[in-house]
Structure 1
Amino acid sequence: MKPFRERDTVKVGLVGATVMAVLGLLVFTWESLPIIGGTTYVAHFREAAGLSPDDEVRVAGVKVGKVTDVELENSYVKVSFRSRGVWLGDRTVAAIRIKTLLGQKMLALEPAGGAELDPGTPIPLERTITAYDVTEAFEDLANTVSDIDTESLAESFDTLSETFSATTPQEVRTALEGMSALSRTVATRDEELRKLLEHSAGVGKILAERTDQFNALLDDGAVLLTEFANRREAIGALLRGTRDLSAQLKALVQENQAQIGPALTQLDRVAEVLQRNQANLDKALKLAGPFYRLVGNAVGNGRWIDTYICGLIPAADGTAGCVPPRR
């Protein structure tokens, strides 16, 4: 076998780059492989209902794949999805469901049939169900309310109430009068109600766009609550220990109150004496510094002690002959 260092480095580099490129391609597209990534199926829906690629595919609440593509084909919506590890029959029903309260969608499958579902045969419209979007419901409600002539509606109820006032029971007249009053109330608040519904639709859209963040927040909250549940015994023991310690300290104070009281009184007196002599203490501390510095100078020469004698020999004029050192 030819040694590695004797081979052509250019060829070795090309082979290595090709191998790395193939491995990288496999890493990024492994879900598209027939065996590893699962099987691709197609379902036809009358409308997309907010379903988008990368939404989950679930069977009995368990995730088995994801939506790969949503596109319009002729007069229906073609939804392509991949599933792995689940059996799907030739009578399988596909439905677009609302995954969260914020409006995120998922594709729910109900396996049925006696034979396995052919990946080349789409699930027809007869076996697909489309969910009604909450955001669209608010939008439709806002449009419907804006189209209602509330003034005419109130007048109609008034007319009905007056027409039937003599021939209808009191309960019916009361109901018509109540509906008339309700219509007038809606009429007076028509603009505010329309704005409220429009804003509700906007809030629904924003919440739907922020579904991932809300899901992460809920997941983190669940993790926190789970951790609290796991540490419940430790937290309970800590609280019980704190309660017992408080009781013991209270009992200790009660038992030693006769000794603690006089001790605190004496301590108060000592503090009062120290406060009263604070000026003298400050002066003593100021004088202690030069004193200990001179002592350090005197005994700081190893085994010897420096001394200074003043006035041992008198001067000729009868004075001491020296001047004592100053601080």
Structure 2
Amino acid sequence: MAGVVAVVVMGLGVLALSVIPFGQRHYSAMVEHSAGLRVGEEVQVAGVGLGEVRGIALKGKAVKVDFTLDSSVRLGRDSSAAVKVATLLGTHFLEVTPAGDGSLPDGTIPLAHTSVPYNLQDVVEGSTRTLDDIDGPKVAASMQVLADTLRDTPDEARRAIDGVSRLSSVAAKRSDQMRRLLAGARRVTGDLADDNEEILALLKQSTLVLDELTSRREVIDRMLADSTRLATEVSGVLDDSDEELEPLMRDFTTTLDALKRQRTDITASVDGLSTMVTYFANATGNGPWMDLHVASALNDNLTCAVLGPTC
């Protein structure tokens, strides 16, 4: 008999250990609906799991969630709770936020201090408002206009599709020519890329030529200014009727005209080279090297569509 009693006592002890959560406190929270929360899911405080949901039951128009919480956490009268979605697979947890002084009345967080991830009633009401805002007669009229428009366009649509089909057939028949064209374009771009050093040297020489032309233009500008001033002064001093000085002045004027023409030619050359030199400065301004990009002659998508795996 004593052995039976001992076994019963031991069984009750094991049951008590498995049911009674030592070191934890029991609380409850009133929520609008369970929102998928299940018994056994975690209770978190500040992102740390400190308890477990022990029971979920309907109470009036709300749902009562019973849970345990580590005894080190004290819930004040302003504490709140929220049902949260943990993963996309449908797991949830109850997030508890301690707040306020004193203790939680009746150990229950009221409905006013809880929230759920969604409210079915709000969803239904929002959908109803959206549907109410739709003007049915206008939608019907728009669909009728669309139908009338499409009814008159089958021939145009068919011709457009036929045109696309013919274009595809031409492209298919001339694929070999396109392939050769692309291969030639690749060789050209490859040669330009291989001649990088020669292009760089040419640009450097163009810069030297531009500097020399600019210097010559400045010299001619000074000569023109001085000669024009001299001609003006001489004309004011000498008598225009002097037959001996007239040929000299005529030759001097011819020389000025020649200088003006040379200046015009030099200016045109400078304008032509300035663009190239600007590109050269941009290409060499990032460091002791030259940024030279030779783009393909044809679109990348077209190139890969024709060349296939070798693209």
TM range (shorter): 0.3 to 0.5
More helix as a share of residues: 2
State the TM-score, normalized to the length of structure 1: 0.37
Larger RCO of the pair (alpha carbons < 8 Å, separation 6+): 2
